[in-house]
Amino acid sequence: MFREIMVIFRKELRSYFVSPLVYTIFAVILFIAGFLFYSGLANYLANLPVIAGGQIGERSGFMELVANAFFLRMTALFILLLPLLCMRVFAEENRTGTMELLLTSPVSKTAIIAGKFLAVCLIQSIIIAIPAGYFLLLKPYAGQAVDVPQLFTAAAGSFLFSAALISFGLLASSLTKSQLVAALIAFAFNFTFLSVQSLSYYFVGKTGEFMARLSLVDHLQPFVQGIVDTRDLLYFLSLAGLGFFFTYLSSGADRKERIFSSLGLGISAVLAVLLINTAFHKTYLRVDLSGRGLYTLSERTRDFTSGLSNNFEMAAFFRRTDENYFRIRELLECFAALTPNVKYQFIDPDRQPQEAAGFGNTSYKVLIIRNNTTGKSEKLFSITEERLINALVKLSRKEIRNIFFLSGHGERDLSARDSRGYYELQKKLSERGFQVRELFLPETGSIPENTALLVLADAQSPLLPDEWSMVKKYLLSGGRALFLIDPSPSYSFAEELREFGVFVRSSVLSDSGSSLFGGEPSVLMVNRYGNHESVNGLSVSSVFSGAREIGFYLMLPKNIRTDLLALPGKSAVSSVQDPSSETPDVSRLPLGLAGVLRCILEEKEGKPVLDYRIAVSGDADFCSNHFLDHYGNLPFTMNLFSWLADEGDYLATDLAKKGRHIQNLSTNQLRFLFYLVVITAPLLFFLTGIFVYLRRRN
């Protein structure tokens, strides 16, 4: 069988490469592909300052904005030009009568169809590979911005997409003796599959979702993003297999039977794909091959979601035409796949008023998460993995947890929106489900029992003895405290923290080698983290401004564990402000910009049941309004608060998943790319076509 297939394959391939039409199709496709590539790249570079600033979303790197859009736009080109590649395959054999000779030869009908199918697929793979290679040309300038695994996955998805169209193109060619009629029938097949997506917009609920699952583009989208999903793989393979099977049935039939059987074959093919697609929709395997795991839920999200005991229902109020529809559907699907306790649906308030009324909402662009066990619900207007998991955590919590910021000593203002204030931090913690309030100890007389965390944020004066006694009592009874200490003149708490084993140095760190670009040497870019669960996996630098050093004394009791979180660069220089405060053993202490201490007070069966936790930062600016959203400050801050409050189920934003960007290309480099991909490559194929035409004519 294999030898028979290869005989037909070589014969068909030879017929393509001696045809001027094929070279013309190559030239047209490469010209359009080159123009799409260059225009997308030029537009991206023109808007790079805005894009790199994160103003258009997290998944906004080079691959997401240029490569993904390029491969999706190429589908329209394939739909239009693939019928021209397939139209002559069987139609020419039928017209010249050689099809009957092939069918009566020792070569089987399966081998004939397979050989011709593989030949067209090889031609199409070349058409896909050349434009995909354009992105590899950028690799020397782009580095990690060009995600090679994602690029190959997108190319593979385009090939599977094309293979499905090719199989029905061969079916169309087998139904007639006219190449023109074959092309028109193939166009009809292509637009039938394409129109399913548009028709799905007119249906709501499960009917609309069912029709959307038949869309070619919907199944291509995950491949373009670097995701291999068995449902998409099965869809394209089953579609190609059906086209191949019906081509087998139609080959050799007389003309009348072909005309009358074409409708029946088309309907049968659609019904068969419907059945296969439906049968395997809920049983699938999904692998994210994008270099940064952009479309994979984090490990913390998966662990928390899979352990949910309450029943949650998510209602997304979006039209299918909304630009965020597919991203949100994919995100909700990932959550629902982890546990049967999470279900989701899309609701169009205008067309499904009763369903919308059940959630008490009539507006678009909102996601409502409802805990059906408790009846509590939460609205999200900005839908990301972080916000979604935070809402689930908040709705799962049985009691309200408080974070108190101590006041009365010149501390930072929670409500202030200036650069030094903590308004953004308060907002992030509130989204997390905490109640964030200020605490004035002379007024309350004690620290409330339901305090999850006590924060002392840049106090300018010491606490009164009675106040510190309350803080100490709270800690020794299993409390948690975070000390945010700026360099002098801010109060250092050095004497108070010494009895807990913490050393606070009277110094200011500076490092011209790792300072923030364009900033002072004291504005440090920290990319060295300790070995602690709150910073494990954090790969993005954090910014500390004007930080003092902190450390932990040696020879502490065995029930106390200490870890440094943020470490200064190797070229950092410490300027001691008060030499008299230095102790002789300070040079032997490991020092950092932030650290944590945990003391086990009580154990049961080898597991801690009561402990106190202290975190100390030599900078109070890293979580301020000005710096919180800079680089890795947000995940660093939120993971630290999570650990202190013993919230292991918290997910902080992973900025390592943000899009990577290409460096700005010079004008000469852009001009070279233009002449190469828009002019030279198409022109070479066009001139080759002319040469083949003239040679055949002679």
Q: Give the whole-angstrom CA distance, residue 685 versus residue 514.
A: 51
Residue 289 lies in a domain: no
- Per residue in 232-255, is it b (16+ CB within 10 Å) or e — as a string? bbbbbebbbbbbbbbbbebbbeee
Q: pLDDT grade, residue 656 (50/70/90)?
A: very low
d(CA 617, CA 482): 8
Locate 186 and state its tokens.
Answer: 């193939």
Q: What is the pLDDT of residues 101-123, one digit of tens each?
A: 776 777 788 888 889 999 999 99
Residue 652 has pLDDT above 50, yes or no: no
* Number of domains composing the chain: 3
Residue 583 located in a structural domain: yes
User: Residue 223 domain-assigned?
Assistant: yes
pLDDT band at 166 (very low <50, low <70, confident <90, very high): very high
pLDDT tens digits, one per residue of 1-51: 778 888 888 888 888 888 788 888 889 889 999 999 988 888 887 776 555
The verdict on 89 and 128 lying in the same domain is yes
Q: How would residue 255 be classed by pLDDT, with cut points 50, 70 and 90?
A: very low
Check whether residue 675 and residue 647 sit in a common domain: no
Q: Which is nearest to 74 in space by CA: 47, 35, 41?
A: 35
**What percent of the chain is modeled with pLDDT above 90?**
15
Are residue 412 and residue 382 in the same domain, yes or no?
no
Taking each helix axis as running N to C, give the angle between helix 148-174 and helix 179-200, from 0 to 180 degrees, rounded to the nearest 10. Answer: 130
Q: What is the mean pLDDT of residues 552-569?
A: 86
Question: 215 and 144 in one domain?
Answer: yes
Among candidate residues 152, 313, 288, 311, the one with its CA nearest the CA of residue 227: 288
Same domain membership, residue 507 and residue 614: yes
Predicted TM-score of the model (pTM) = 0.67
| pLDDT digit string, tens, across residues 474-487 | 999 989 999 999 88
Same domain, 82 and 128: yes
Residues 334 and 404 in one domain: no
Give, for 544, the enclosing helix (H) or strand (E): strand 542-545
Q: What percent of the chain has pLDDT over 70?
A: 83
Least confident of 180-194, 268-282, 298-312, 329-343: 268-282
pLDDT tens for 437-451 read 999 998 888 898 888
Q: What is the pLDDT of residues 493-535, one digit of tens each?
A: 988 998 898 988 887 777 665 555 445 667 777 878 888 888 8
What number is the average pLDDT over the span 206-224?
78
In a domain, 266, yes or no: yes
**Pairing mode, if any, of strands 451-457 and 480-484?**
parallel
Closest CA relative to residue 72, chosen from 231, 194, 183: 194
Is the same domain home to 6 and 85?
yes
Locate tokens 């207007």: which residue? 381
Mean pLDDT in residue range 157-179: 90
- pLDDT of res. 488: 82
Domain CATH code at residue 312 = 3.40.30.10
* HSE value, Cβ hemisphere, 13 Å, CA-based, for 562: 21
SS3 551: strand
362 in the same domain as 406: no
439 and 473 fall within a common domain = yes
* Size (the chain), residues: 698
Residue 544: the pLDDT is 86
Residue with more model confidence, 466 or 104: 466
Answer yes or no: is 665 within a domain: no
Asked if the model's pLDDT at residue 381 lies above 80, the reply is yes
Q: Quick check: is 608 in a domain? A: yes
On whether both 575 and 680 belong to a single domain, the answer is no
663 domain-assigned: no
Domain end: 367, 388, 409, which one? Answer: 388
Residue 141 CA to residue 438 CA, distance in Å, equals 50
Q: Which residues are within 8 A (CB) of 418 and not within 5 positions of it... i.e. 6 or more apart?
A: 625
**What is the spatial distance between Cα 522 and Cα 528, in angstroms, rounded to a whole number?**
16
The domain spanning residue 405 has which CATH number?
Answer: 3.40.50
| Ramachandran area for residue 61 (φ above 0: left; ψ -120 to 50: alpha; else beta) | beta
Q: Which of 165, 232, 155 is nearest to 192 (CA)?
A: 165
**CA-closest candidate to residue 670, choices 132, 128, 138:** 138
Phi first, then psi: give them for residue 53, nearest 5 degrees. -75, 0
- For residues 361 and 436, state if they share a domain: no
Instruction: Note whether 214 and 273 are within 8 A (CB).
Output: yes
Structural domain boundaries enclosing 111: 2-284+670-697
Per-residue DSSP letters for 411-468?
PPPTT--STT--HHHHHHHHHTTEEEEEE-HHHHSS--TTEEEEEEES-SSPPPHHHH
Q: 690 in a domain, yes or no?
A: yes
Domain boundary (363, 388, 413) is at 388
| Residue where a domain terminates, one of 353, 368, 388 | 388
What is the per-residue pLDDT for 649? 46
